[in-house]
Amino acid sequence: MSTLHSLHHAAQALQLAGEKINPQYRPGYHIAAPANWINDPNGMIQFNGEYHVFYQHHPYDEHWGPMHWGHVKSTDLIHWQHCPIALAPGDECDRDGCFSGSAVDDDGVLTLVYTGHHYTDREKDLFTQNQNIAFSRDGIHFHKYEANPVIAEPPADSAHHFRDPKVWKHGDTWYMVLGNATQDGHGRVIRYHSSDLRQWTYDGILAESDGTLGFMWECPDFFELDGRHVLLISPQGIERKEDRYLNLFQTGYLIGDYNYDANDFQHGEFHELDHGHDFYAVQTLLDDQGRRIAIGWMDMWESDMPTKAHGWAGALTLPRVLNVDSSGRLLMNPVEETKLLRQEQFSLGESFTVTDSYRTNITESLLEIRVLFDLNNSDADKVSLTLHSDASDQTVIMYDNVNEKLILDASQSGKPQDGIRTAPLAKAALLTLRIFVDRSSIEVFANDGQATLTSRIYPQGNGASMELTATGGQAQVQEWTCWSLRDIWQTATPHTDTTIS
């Protein structure tokens, strides 16, 4: 099947599937495909003044399958437009899937760098992987390089895991990091370099597990930020340790100092980037304002996905700005542009005391919530915000003052098993919570990004009531405000052109 025919066929299937969607849990302001399955964000880039986000996509089914590259674009990181599917598998270089990768601007040519996937024994999940490129001058229609793959096989000392290229330019040289694994099952990131994106030279190992950080490091991203170098990775196979590593797979970071010439990365310990149920495979872009912007997949492998019964599965997080603080911790906060989503403002109270609970009714299902607890003038052991959609349904965000932990409890909003997630958060004079609620997700940002919790939730009701609670004492609330948010997809116009020019 030709690439043109593959893309056209996928577009037709997607259009038909989109007509059958159950909208109950469809995101109002998050990136999701028109229908069917998505996972990792790919190819995030600002190109010709527009932000582009690609994503792993199966346009024929709500379950994972042969990976295509879906595509959206935006001028403001908030209002997204669906574009034609950018890549379809089936060529010799990518017979069984166009897996994750990245995008670069090569002198005005938008270039996608991606992994080609080949099964050698599908039943036993045996495969080979290689690296490929595709080009576009208009940012919409892509041609695969006729001499793909540009890297045909992994280094001799590695396992068959060899994927998710992240490419950037430093000086006059292109660099690529790849997720990889050793033959004895230790995850690692390896580096290549090139002068032209076509001929690549292997440079060796950038970082690797000591045996405690999983058997494979997926989706690497490497960049300089606030004077340090940051390696984002998504390790597979880390064992649970108390409140850490509770998901099937994790996403986190290593921070340190890097020498390009020696390919020497001296770094500290691994830290999880988000402690919620559904955050994986994060990728970043550097925009023209100098911001390092991150987006992750807002789901998790082998988790319950009720929306499959509705004809779709998978969404991406809000765009978030990354920074390194003075202690060497990576902070993550929503981009400033999220304020464009705000509609009606509800001022729910200022400078009041909660002795037991304080409740208000809100009928909106798309919300931004801001709560400031004055902990210096509170003696409660725990303070919490609870979202109710009906009598039996609730999502709880709680801060434990005694144990200095931020807790998200979704066990009564779609996650009856393993419903609680916890993030460490040192007690400060003020606890600031900024919370984004969509129809099937919640994103919690505490104390300007010192802790984040991202989870999919599946409330049964349409509206919400909210309740502040103090346990074991009183809580002083400095501010409680929320905003109803726009549904950006209600008025979005899909881009339906499927030709290749």
Residue 490 has pLDDT above 70, yes or no: yes
CA dist 214 → 166, 187, 232, 478 (Å): 20, 6, 14, 43
User: Domain of 125: which CATH number?
Assistant: 2.115.10.20
Number of domains in the chain: 2
HSE (side-chain half, CA atoms, 13 Å) at 96: 13
Q: Which two tokens stand for residue 100?
A: 């994750």
- pLDDT for 496 equals 43
Q: Which of 336, 361, 377 finishes a domain?
A: 336
Same domain, 245 and 276: yes
Q: pLDDT tens digit string along 30-86?
A: 999 999 999 999 999 999 999 999 999 999 999 999 999 999 999 999 999 999 999
Same domain, 332 and 393: no
Same domain, 74 and 198: yes
What are residue 417's DSSP bridge partners? none
Q: Are 100 and 111 in contact (CB under 8 A)?
A: no
Establish if 499 belongs to a structural domain.
Answer: no
The mean per-residue pLDDT over the stretch 310-331 comes to 97
Same domain, 292 and 244: yes
Establish if 222 belongs to a structural domain.
Answer: yes
Q: Print the domain residue range for 89.
A: 3-336
CA 407/CA 421 separation, integer angstroms: 6
Same domain, 322 and 383: no
Same domain, 110 and 256: yes
Same domain, 231 and 371: no
Same domain, 175 and 60: yes
Q: Which two tokens stand for residue 139?
A: 């940012």
Torsion angles phi and psi, residue 99, rounded to 5: -80, -175
Same domain, 449 and 359: yes
Residue 425 has pLDDT above 60, yes or no: yes
Alpha carbon 463 to chain centroid distance? 26
Is 40 annotated in the active site?
yes
Q: Which of 336, 361, 394 finishes a domain?
A: 336
Same domain, 237 and 350: no
Q: Which residue among 40, 94, 96, 487 is the active-site one?
A: 40
CA 100/CA 132 separation, integer angstroms: 11
Residue 351 has pLDDT above 70, yes or no: yes
Q: Which of 298, 320, 336 finishes a domain?
A: 336
Establish if 235 belongs to a structural domain.
Answer: yes
Q: pLDDT tens digit string along 256-267?
A: 999 999 999 999
User: Domain of 468: which CATH number?
Assistant: 2.60.120.560
Check the CA dihedral 246-249-253-259 and report its sign: positive
